Structure 1
Amino acid sequence: MVKVGQYNTLKVLRAVDFGVFLDDGNEGILLPKRFVPPGIKPGDELTVFVYHDSEDRIIATTQKPFGVVGDIVPLKVVSVTNQGAFLDWGLMKDIFVPRTKQLMQMRVGGIYIVKIYIDEQTGRVAATEKIESFLSNDTLTVKEKDLVDLIVYRRTDIGYVVIINGLHTGVLHFSDIYRDIHVGLRMKGYIKTIREENKIDVALGEPGYARVGGEAGKVLSLLEANGGFLPYHDKSDPDDIYSFFSMSKKTFKMAVGTLFRQRLINIKEHGIELVKPS
């Protein structure tokens, strides 16, 4: 059975001037010509995303949406009506958030965290901003040091609440942030600590770096946030180092030395390079 709002692998039934029809067990689902890969012929299989077009017909596409049914994702509002808001989710047709599924009235250009679901009345893919009921720490699917996907959810007095793997919530403390953070940002991180009542603290990067704290940890986090390389070394201008790291050149050199001795970085002629944990 074809699943709307999900990826499906379907066999090509027949080709027409305006595309190909894919086998759904009935008359077929259209994959428009502009999305048909070159050389495709009847009998071939294609992995496509299936959803309803603007005329309420089930249609296929090889475009990749920013999320599928069940996902929690940050999406940008492109238009607003009296009935709700339309968000860009990477397809030709925008996804709809009814007014009843919004926490406050959405605004054009705003980025909102929503859950993608199938509307029971229409069978169409839709989205809701009311996601709290889908998040729970009662039964955890993660443990300390696990690598996880994070979405920045909201700012608090101690840091940012983040959504973990689309299932749980945790806190990224200000003391563990060494890069620009904003609501809706998607990042990789790990479970730093699980405290009483399943409260979770997370950190950015990978768990192999958890033992590194202080200024060395700050350098490491900045390396992680900048693709694993930074163009700073023992001959860099002290003002440049202070501007980027908010530390003196002496402190920077001590931090680099600590990381090098722990075999977490390589020192290159033009900068420092992250060594990924094996």
Structure 2
Amino acid sequence: MELGRINRARVESITPQGYYLELETGGSVLLPGNRNKFTLVEGEIIDVFVYTDSEDRPIATLDKPLAQVGEFAVLTVKEVNRVGAFLDWGLNKDLFLPFKQQLGELQKGDRCVVFVLEDEKSGRIIATEKIKSFIDPDTNDLHIGQRVELAAYEVTPDYVDCLVDYRYTGRLMMTPGMERIYIGDTMPGFIQRFTSDGKITLNLTPIGYKGVMKSESPNAVMQKLEAAGGFLPYGDHTDPETIRREFGMSKKTFKKIIGTLFREEKIVITEDGIRAV
């Protein structure tokens, strides 16, 4: 079974305790409940979330959590005791955030940015605020000007580090007059630029057209091509960073666009670049 994730299952048998399910990935698990709560029939195929009960036994639920194992989330602290914090993740049993996985002192009602994982030692599903090692460093599918969802996880007087689309990381520089941002705040943002080492600089407002395309449309490529006199020395041979710097998009997106323009007979693709027809 995939603990901490949504599993496809078949109703194997019905008992007074609930429904025993045969999981598509192997094994069986109990879905507690009776016909007064919901009605299932033998052989029915359903999707359930599999986690552990208070005695660390695998158990299924039809409820959907706010995050599964392998995902980031912004969650609220429901309780703090001598062993750690417990987070509301949309299920009856709260998500455990051990003290050793925390970055600072938490109190009831605080919001925190966490990654959900299965603890290697205990086998339990837990959360960690130490999220940096789980962030995706490959930003090739992002482009300058792209609208993204942000979640602040580190706040300083000068900058705020944010999750970008709950997958990447970026930095928002604080400027005079900006509203204060707290850990756990979520907001829309825009990719302003990429630094030489591939890191993302963010802005809360869309950027203008300043020698860099902010659109992925074929028309925008044609405008840049015409402004260059009908020829641009970019194509399959061009490295991804050059494409990102010149066009504000990934090489994958650029290749799709020039492929569309070629099929529409608006450009010719040569060994050394692209030329307007």
Q: Give the shorter-chain TM-score range.
A: 0.5 to 0.7
Name the residue aligned to 1:93.
93
- Give the aligned residue type for 1:50: V
Name the residue aligned to 1:22.
21
Contact 1:75 1:111 in 2 (8 A): yes
* Aligned mates of 1:148, 1:43 — CA distance in 2: 42
Name the residue aligned to 1:41.
41
Distance 1:66 1:160, change over 3 A: same
Name the residue aligned to 1:9.
8
- Which secondary structure does the structure 2 equivalent of 1:105 belong to? coil
Q: Which has the higher contact order (CA 8 A, sep 6+)?
A: 2
RMSD (CA atoms): 3.0
Q: Are residue 211 (structure 1) and residue 175 (structure 2) matched?
A: no
- Give the aligned residue type for 2:19: V
Distance 1:173 1:68, change over 3 A: same
Distance 1:124 1:84, change over 3 A: same
Q: Could you report, residue by residue, the CA deviation over 1:146-182 in whole angstroms, capped at 9, with x for unpaired residues?
A: 4433212233344532111333321234569987853
Measured after TM superposition, the shift of residue 16 of structure 1 is: 1.9
Name the residue aligned to 2:127.
127
Contact 2:112 2:153 in 1 (8 A): no
Q: Could you report, residue by residue, the CA deviation over 1:108-152 in whole angstroms, capped at 9, with x for unpaired residues?
A: 222221111101112110011112222364x32423244433212
Contact 2:113 2:152 in 1 (8 A): no
Q: Could you report, residue by residue, the CA deviation over 1:69-92 in whole angstroms, capped at 9, with x for unpaired residues?
A: 111212222222222221111110
- Which secondary structure does the structure 1 equivalent of 2:171 belong to? strand
Runs of 4+ in 1 over 4 A off after TM superposition: 34-39, 173-181
Measured after TM superposition, the shift of residue 34 of structure 1 is: 6.3
Measured after TM superposition, the shift of residue 8 of structure 1 is: 0.8
- Which secondary structure does the structure 2 equivalent of 1:133 belong to? helix
Contact 1:20 1:36 in 2 (8 A): no
Measured after TM superposition, the shift of residue 37 of structure 1 is: 7.5
Distance 1:35 1:102, change over 3 A: farther
Contact 1:9 1:45 in 2 (8 A): yes
Name the residue aligned to 2:273.
none
- Which secondary structure does the structure 2 equivalent of 1:100 belong to? helix
Name the residue aligned to 2:197.
197
Q: TM-score, with normalisation over the residues of structure 2? A: 0.65
Contact 1:50 1:58 in 2 (8 A): yes
Distance 1:202 1:30, change over 3 A: same
Name the residue aligned to 1:224.
none
Structure 1: unaligned runs, 5 residues or longer: 214-278
Q: TM-score, with normalisation over the residues of structure 1? A: 0.64
* Aligned mates of 1:128, 1:70 — CA distance in 2: 11
Per mean C-alpha deviation after superposition, the further-off stretch among 148-157 and 57-66 is: 148-157
- Give the aligned residue type for 1:20: Y
Q: Could you report, residue by residue, the CA deviation over 1:180-203 in whole angstroms, capped at 9, with x for unpaired residues?
A: 853212334442322322231234
Structure 2: unaligned runs, 5 residues or longer: 211-277
* Aligned mates of 2:209, 2:34 — CA distance in 1: 51
Name the residue aligned to 2:115.
115
- Aligned pairs, number: 207
Name the residue aligned to 2:164.
164
Contact 2:21 2:29 in 1 (8 A): yes
Per mean C-alpha deviation after superposition, the further-off stretch among 172-181 and 32-41 is: 172-181
